[in-house]
A and B are shown apart, each in its own frame.
Chain A
Amino acid sequence: MTTSTVDTRRGRMVVDGLLRRRELSIALVTVALGLYFTFTTTGFNTGSNYHIIAQYFAPWAIIAAGEVMLLICGEIDLSAGYMFTLAPFVLAVFVNNGAPLLIAVLGALAVSACVGIANGLIRTVLNMPSFITTLGMFFLLWGIALLLSGGSPVQAPEGGALVSVLGGARWAELCWAVGIVIVMQVVLSGTRFGVYTFAVGGNPTGASEAGIRTRRVKTACFALTSLLAGFAGILDGIRVGSFDPTNGGANYMFLAVASAVIGGTALLGGSGTVVGAFIGAVALGIVHEGFNLAGINANAFNAVLGVAVLAAMMLNIYLSRFSRAGT
């Protein structure tokens, strides 16, 4: 047991060393993207534009903070995007039944966490692949969101300090994203739970032989991901002022997973950082906003976006090789 723990720690240090460089390279790519749009568009480097970029990436970064944990332990949650969609309507149900806003928020978050626990239990107890488990949950949550909303938008709560804190104030959503990323990074790299997460993903057999309750760790990660996705949905709905059944969905889930992978998290588990995923989300946000600002029309937008993401990732790989060769 002692030797394997030492092995895990040593493994982690090596992995961390590599990742630090990966984060550096994606950070450089992000800066390069920012410079590109600074020179090619007008109004990119303004406070209001930074705010718009933050609107884009804050929800992706919050969902990604959970997905990173899951990816590290070798799992994925495809249903997170629809947890994002559903949570605001759960909140609305609580409010409509007379609950004060704070209780409604806590209730919606509790429901979100329970969805994650259900994902985790189906995955670990029935040993069903997380891809299928969470794909089923994906459709289920989507359907429930449509049923609860009746297919049409519901007005979000307005006014009051709590609404301001929960996305109503101008930079609130970004502050939450940054805070969550810091907390989750500390959990991942500074607590026993974080060490277990890496161990479960990097070497499942070794981890369980070392006495780590792998099922419990994975289920906790599923719960965290759903909780964060639901919370991000509530923040975003309150910011926009409307709970809409078309918000979130598969697109947000893919963007969150993409943020994590762009930020250096391995799709097959064992390595990753929350900070890297945050930078990945910022890069994606800059690309989205930059091309909109440049006036790209909707039909061409995805093609341009695709080329930009591919080019940025190629540059990222080139930079990370370069930095590895340099040290």
Chain B
Amino acid sequence: MFGAGGGALAAGSLLTACKGAHDDEAGATGATGNFPKPGERWKFVFINHVTTNSFFAPTQNGIKDAAALLGVDYQWTGAEDGNVSTMATALDTAISGGAHGIAIALTDNTAFKAGCKRAFSRGIPVVAYNATAAGNYALAYIGQDLFLSGYKMGQRIVREVGSGDILVGISQPGGNNVQPRLDGIRKAIADAGDRITVHSVNTGAEQAAELSAMEAAYAGRKSAKGVYAVDAGSTAGIAQMIDKQGLKGKFHAGGYDTLSDTIEGVKSGALDFTIDQSAYLQGFLPMLALYLYRLSGSLVHPPEMDTGLTFVTADTVDPYVKAQSVYEDAKGKRMLSMPASLPLPAPLTVTSS
């Protein structure tokens, strides 16, 4: 951290020493890299729905790292228990406390509309992260595109399964965070000619019960050619079930997020894949977006950033298994060793009309 700062300073003084053809103001006061130091120290506020949930520990690491990189302050606040009223009040506090930028998880369709409008009217940029809701106001959404991730998963299921019955576990049918994924899967299957029948399994939100629900569903439909899930707990439940009952290879399987059972399942081959929505980037990228937007006086508009289309497979799972890191855990290493050779990523696709 100090090394990077020192490097930035040295680079800054070097740049000031010799000006190029363009007489710009790069690095003159050297806050970070080429960027000038703003008059006051900026503070970006993150409003979260479950501030102490372990899923968001890497998100906070991302925020912290970006804050150190950019020389800004941050506040991680909101509600511990999803309480929308507390979140809305925290949003108001951020505005009246003079935040220089706000990132908010839009877990409710209506509760944050007024607050976000007020923020914009006071010149405070707002981006949404982790959760988004139609009809709300934010410069961009930085997080997983839930429907798209489900659609990609559906395409993969079509490739792997072909036709027949599949089970898909969902912790909370209708829930803003999971239902769009299931809808995406159904859409992809329908687009591919509808040769797969989806049987959804309501698994509930408690992890022990999720395993039981998946086991019961599979016992009732042993002909299933694939067993999938659209939430972290149910995915881990599938991995446990395959391990416990020795079902590896009997059907295709996969799901979401990087709980340890899931990662072990991918490693052992019980699961074909899991989709990583990168909690770390959901903190790091909003900081960068807010910083550049402010620094450029609103010229550099944050793009939509989808953090959630990384398929973790047996080829790519090793870095997840090997070491605790700040990118996937609450604490751990910042620097991990680079694999000697890299698996080919999925070929690029281009949207055409």
Contact = CB atoms under 8 A, between A and B. Distances in A.
A293 interface: yes
**Residue among B43, B76, B79 with most chain A CB within 10 A:** B76
A236 B96 contact: no
A298 interface: yes
Interface stretch (B105-113, B212-220, B295-303): B105-113
Contacts of A48: 92, 95-96
A48 B89 CA distance: 11
B98 interface: yes
Interface stretch (A9-17, A101-109, A223-231, A243-251): A243-251
Given A244-B84, A244-B108, 20 more contacts: A46-B96, A48-B92, A51-B92, A52-B92, A52-B96, A55-B92, A150-B174, A152-B176, A155-B109, A241-B111, A242-B111, A244-B82, A244-B111, A251-B83, A292-B97, A295-B43, A295-B97, A296-B77, A297-B77, A298-B48
Given A42-B98, A240-B85, A244-B84, A301 B77 contact: yes
Interface in B3-52: 43, 48, 51-52
B85 A151 contact: no
A293 B97 contact: yes
A156 interface: yes
A292 B176 CA distance: 28
A299 interface: yes
B335 to A, nearest CB: 25
> Top 4 A-B pairs ranked by shortest CB distance?
A298-B51, A246-B82, A242-B111, A244-B84
A239 B95 CA distance: 18
B192 interface: no
29 contacts: A43-B98, A48-B96, A49-B96, A52-B92, A52-B93, A55-B89, A55-B92, A150-B174, A155-B109, A156-B110, A240-B88, A240-B111, A241-B113, A246-B79, A246-B81, A246-B84, A247-B84, A247-B85, A249-B83, A292-B90, A293-B93, A295-B43, A295-B73, A295-B75, A295-B97, A297-B75, A298-B78, A299-B51, A301-B77
B163 interface: no
**Residue among B76, B79, B83 with most chain A CB within 10 A:** B83
A145 to B, nearest CB: 13
B160 interface: no
Contacts of B83: 244, 246-247, 249, 251
Nearest to A150: B174
Interface in B160-174: 172, 174
A298 B97 contact: no
Interface string A133-153: 000000000000000001111
A299 B51 CA distance: 8
B85 A244 contact: yes
Interface of A: 41-43, 46, 48-49, 51-52, 55-56, 150-153, 155-156, 236-237, 239-242, 244, 246-247, 249, 251, 289, 292-293, 295-299, 301
B114 interface: yes
Given A48-B96, A240-B85, A299-B51, A292 B77 contact: yes
A239 B77 CA distance: 21
Nearest to B98: A43
A41 B93 CA distance: 12
Nearest to B176: A152
A151 B175 contact: yes
A241 B78 CA distance: 17
Interface of B: 43, 48, 51-52, 73, 75-85, 88-90, 92-93, 95-98, 108-111, 113-114, 172, 174-176
Nearest to A236: B85
B39 to A, nearest CB: 15
A247 B88 CA distance: 11
Contacts of A42: 97-98
Nearest to A300: B76
A43 B97 contact: yes
Nearest to B114: A241
Nearest to A156: B110
B109 to A, nearest CB: 7
A247 B51 CA distance: 16
B52 A298 contact: yes
Contacts of A249: 81, 83
Contacts of A299: 51-52, 76
A299 B83 CA distance: 16
A236 B98 CA distance: 25
Nearest to B94: A292
B89 A56 contact: yes
**Residue among A56, A240, A299 with most chain B CB within 10 A:** A240
A141 B249 CA distance: 46
Contacts of B82: 244, 246
B110 A241 contact: yes
A226 to B, nearest CB: 20
A90 to B, nearest CB: 18
Contacts of A239: 85
Contacts of B110: 153, 155-156, 241-242
B51 A153 contact: no
Nearest to A41: B97
Nearest to A239: B85
Contacts of A236: 85
A37 to B, nearest CB: 11
Given A46-B96, A240-B85, A295-B73, A151 B111 contact: no
A242 B92 contact: no
Nearest to A242: B111
A296 B90 CA distance: 12
B77 to A, nearest CB: 5
B111 A298 contact: no
Contacts of A244: 82-85, 108, 111
Contact of B76 (A152, A153, A293, A298): A298
